Amino acid sequence: MSDPETVGMREGLPAPSQSHPGFLRRCAVACLIVLLLLAGFGILAAGWIVVHGVSARDSPTVLEETVARALRHLAVPAKDRRRVNPVPPTPEALTEAMAHWADHCATCHGNDGRGSTTIGRNLFPKAPDMTLPKTQGLSDGELFAIIKNGVRLTGRPAWGSPGNAEDSQTWKIVLFIRHLQNMTPEELDQMKSMNPVSPMEREQQRKEDDFLNGGDDPGPATSSLHPPHPGASRKELP
Ligand code: HEC
């Protein structure tokens, strides 16, 4: 067995550790500093969590939001970000997307995309106001990727199947997001009738209809112990 140190010596070359005796020491010190910094950061983060808890009511700090958005941006390959919406913005495509949005997205994002729903406001991070430049400034391709793949560690679910069978529906939703800033009161009204309704709300509605037709008093609107499903509350969704 040839020992690398003796080989080096036999050939007249000093062993690396001998040639730079200070080098390894400096590496060790640098590693130690990095480890200490990481440990310090970990202790600070743990302390912060213990003091502040892990409530989803807080809003992410500017730093958290900036880092998370930058990482999300980088996670979408540049070629995907450059994709242009292949679906033309016809009224039919928009109507279809509106129905999907009201059924699947409005629970968190609201019919108007501003995120002011019970769930949207209480998630961490919160559902954003999609009419603002932060969302509108994202490319079609990036919006598509976010909708299709979802965002890890947030409430944002992946939408549709992993294959591309439902891609055209997703592109239609991208069209709808572009339309959010121009929503009319009529469109918002129309969407209310497409929001999901829970069995409890349906039953309440049936009782109210019975009452209007001369039946018994329908009683209180909802049980105080069981607030209605946020997506179910038509009044709540803007
Ligand atoms: C369970 C709640 C929930 C549902 C349902 C939901 N989303 Fe979201 N969505 C979120 C949250 C929370 C974020 C913010 C995530 C983040 O900050 O990265 C988000 C972010 C987004 C974004 C990125 C906007 C931006 O500026 O960062 C898009 C686009 C989006 N959602 C589209 C949709 C569509 C389309 C649907 C329906 C198919 C949908 N979402 C359903 C919670 C939800």
Interval 115-142: pLDDT, tens: 999 899 888 889 999 999 999 999 999 9
- Pick the atom of ligand 1 nearest to 173's CA: 35
Q: Which residue's C-alpha comes closest to atom 14 of ligand 1?
A: 127
- Which of 73, 81, 109 is the pocket-test mutation for ligand 1 (most atoms within 8 Å of CB)? 109
All residues at 6 or more sequence positions from 76 whose CB lies less than 8 Å from its CB, including other chains: 141, 142, 145, 146
Helices and strands, counts by H and E, the chain = 13, 0
What pTM was computed for the model? 0.74
Q: Which residue's C-alpha comes closest to atom 43 of ligand 1?
A: 156
Domain ranges of the chain: 62-192
Asked if residue 172 lies in contact with residue 97, where contact means CB atoms within 8 angstroms, the answer is yes
Ligand 1 center to 113 CA (angstroms): 9
Quick one: pLDDT band at residue 80, thresholds 50, 70, 90?
Answer: very high
All residues at 6 or more sequence positions from 188 whose CB lies less than 8 Å from its CB, including other chains: 111, 112, 238
- For residue 125, the one-letter residue type is P
The fold of 62-192 is Cytochrome Bc1 Complex; Chain D, domain 2 (1.10.760)
Q: Which residue's C-alpha comes closest to atom 18 of ligand 1?
A: 151
User: Measured between alpha carbons, how far is 129 from 112 in angstroms, rounded to an integer?
Assistant: 9
Residue length, the chain? 238
